[in-house]
Structure 1
């Protein structure tokens, strides 16, 4: 008999909706799942979103306050998908109530808050998961297998980047993502965290870093109510100051001796969602880009004239892909990765296994972020110190 998992979602913005849709899809996509998800309660301060939760997503009920949701007896697991600076109090309440917790990244708006969330979960022996969803791309999993098998030899260099245009419009609204009190740090928390998690997954731990930051757009139009960070104001609108970084770059050395470069921006024009990596080894290389999610580029050192990268297309020969589309080169998408990660998280809850990435892996990521932040002031190489210790 499948284990029932009652779900509470805290915040029905983009990611709250994505995880809710994942819960609705899992039974049909993965009939062998070890659990049966049930959307029990959604907490959101906006009445319109609460109405959508019940009418469009099928939640049994919706409430304005998260405390009522996380203490409900029919809730087993809580998804934290609210603005970053709200995560720690939500995590604290859910852990105290004995619920499993899946939090979108970053689990805290600052490295210190992430460590606080980790310690809270550890104190309560809380099962945890974090939304580094790109680790669940079937082709990213295949890339890791190729690296582990020695297909590209010894890894010598890693290049990671997440370049997005969501903040490139100077008339883009000053939403919570641009305010330190609500978001914490900017692109280093929001999207560089994905690049670092991929590097950890593919290559290993980072030993030391140095880097820089910058703000391309320093002021933005003020919103007149709840608004998406994709919303747009007018040139004549009152403006407010952007309080966190638009751009960051980082050099690093890995503990295994490889070197690395990272770059992240929300304000560059051109790359619309270029979450990408390149892994270089002594015998070959791999390259993947979210904008071409269904393609993995593979270079193998060979004799002769017919050298170069070849394209490996995604398909049902790779893990999880066949649940969404049969055959080869039939692409999957972003929310499919969310469904895969939620499947694996809840399977772990059903079998009492530890899910990764969890809050400890989030601390590993922010330990790198903190070293980068330190380098902004020192302008020197900074060691990565495990903040969990």
Structure 2
């Protein structure tokens, strides 16, 4: 099979990001399977029809159950709100469809385990949308760690800072409702940090955390879309049922120490997604706002040139970079999705599970819930106990 027919459920922020990722793949990675953007699905018939035209999908529908049952669909891409993930994924797996699902995988650890079990039982390929893994500079950090060039890892610290909820008049969007989103900054932003830690450092053994919801009531929305919303009647408000900010400390199974911060109240930070890793032989610093760069330090540099150096991960020596532009020409956020889809296509070709997959989604959900339990019980929680 040289082509892959895709049905996608979701058409807003992530729907646009995924569509763009699929469209770029055959132009820049022509030796992979070609994704055919067959059907896009959403509840609002008029809006999804407009998205189909704008994003380049052949057809549109408002019935995901009909979509997953179609014989001409090979893969179901799920980027609808988190409360829809489980039902769609399990039905699609039962219909023999491969799965790509945005993070967090589900509303709960139990639901995520149910999704993994369904995918494994069906024998389909499954992948979870931790796209930040696929920035070439992040993959360079991974290579330095795996090659032992940073030595024994002592510290991992990570932070994902946004400020789009500081205004108390920002409406009660779906991301602020636990029954739809599962959690707030913790599950949306913190999930990326947790997966990055798993990818680069290893499993997390124990956690202790704290969280806060700074604004408890917000105006009810008239319309929501991704990270934006418009207010309805200002007099009507509803409760915010998720965290605005969550911080936690962690001990990894290899004894490294970690600190994590996810917030939507860091004034002046639009989307600061960063980590620093310190090892016995060196350190690295990554900031997604400068995603093509990795700050690298080695202890064995001569004294007169000691210090962090800027490595630009845009030439063919770095993962995926050779497929894009001449050396020194930067790539952006959207390219991480194309790289993730390259991994999926390679996994299909090689008959293996892509990485990260639903196993990684479950591991992330396990840490998310361990932190939530820690916040509730105000004590350290062993992740493996969940």
TM-score above 0.5: yes
1:329-374, Cα deviation, whole Å (9 max, x unpaired)? x211111000110121122123322111100011111111121111
The aligned counterpart of 1:161 is 159
The aligned counterpart of 2:366 is 367
Separation (CA, whole Å) in 2 of partners of 1:150 and 1:358: 25
The aligned counterpart of 1:7 is 6
Change (3 A) 1:227 1:24: closer
Q: Provide structure 1 residue ranges, at least 5 long, that are not aligned to the other structure.
A: none
- Counting only pairs closer than 5 Å after superposition, residues 20-99 of structure 1 correspond to structure 2 as 20-33=19-32, 35-99=33-97
Change (3 A) 1:123 1:137: same
1:59-113, Cα deviation, whole Å (9 max, x unpaired)? 2211111101111111000100100001101101101110000000011022222
- Counting only pairs closer than 5 Å after superposition, residues 83-122 of structure 1 correspond to structure 2 as 83-122=81-120
- TM-score normalised to the size of structure 2? 0.95
Does residue 326 (structure 1) correspond to residue 357 (structure 2)? The answer is no
Q: Of 235, 244, 247, which residue of structure 2 is paired with 1:246? A: 244
Q: Provide structure 2 residue ranges, at least 5 long, that are not aligned to the other structure.
A: none
Separation (CA, whole Å) in 2 of partners of 1:50 and 1:287: 40
The aligned counterpart of 2:286 is 288
Change (3 A) 1:20 1:270: same
3-state DSSP of counterpart to 1:231: strand
Compute the RMSD of aligned alpha carbons: 1.7
The aligned counterpart of 1:346 is 345
- Counting only pairs closer than 5 Å after superposition, residues 127-138 of structure 1 correspond to structure 2 as 127-138=125-136
**Aligned 8 A contact 2:221 2:232 in 1:** no
Q: Of 258, 261, 264, which residue of structure 2 is paired with 1:263? A: 261
Change (3 A) 1:173 1:269: same
Separation (CA, whole Å) in 2 of partners of 1:378 and 1:386: 14
Separation (CA, whole Å) in 1 of partners of 2:272 and 2:4: 35
3-state DSSP of counterpart to 1:224: strand
The aligned counterpart of 1:385 is 384
- Counting only pairs closer than 5 Å after superposition, residues 112-261 of structure 1 correspond to structure 2 as 112-233=110-231, 236-261=234-259
**Aligned 8 A contact 1:364 1:386 in 2:** no
**Aligned 8 A contact 1:174 1:229 in 2:** no
**Aligned 8 A contact 1:375 1:381 in 2:** yes
1:119-166, Cα deviation, whole Å (9 max, x unpaired)? 221222221000000111111011011112222221111101111223
TM-superposed CA distance for 1:198, in Å, is 0.6
Change (3 A) 1:305 1:366: same
**Aligned 8 A contact 1:153 1:281 in 2:** yes
- My pick for the range that moved more, 55-64 or 130-139, is 55-64
1:314-338, Cα deviation, whole Å (9 max, x unpaired)? 212211123222112x211111000
Separation (CA, whole Å) in 1 of partners of 2:24 and 2:281: 41
**Aligned 8 A contact 1:363 1:386 in 2:** no
**Aligned 8 A contact 2:9 2:40 in 1:** yes
**Number of residues of Structure 1 aligned to a counterpart in Structure 2:** 384
3-state DSSP of counterpart to 2:250: strand
Separation (CA, whole Å) in 1 of partners of 2:185 and 2:334: 21
Separation (CA, whole Å) in 2 of partners of 1:319 and 1:259: 28
**Aligned 8 A contact 1:169 1:267 in 2:** no
3-state DSSP of counterpart to 2:222: coil
The aligned counterpart of 2:313 is 314
TM-superposed CA distance for 1:274, in Å, is 1.1
- My pick for the range that moved more, 244-253 or 301-310, is 301-310
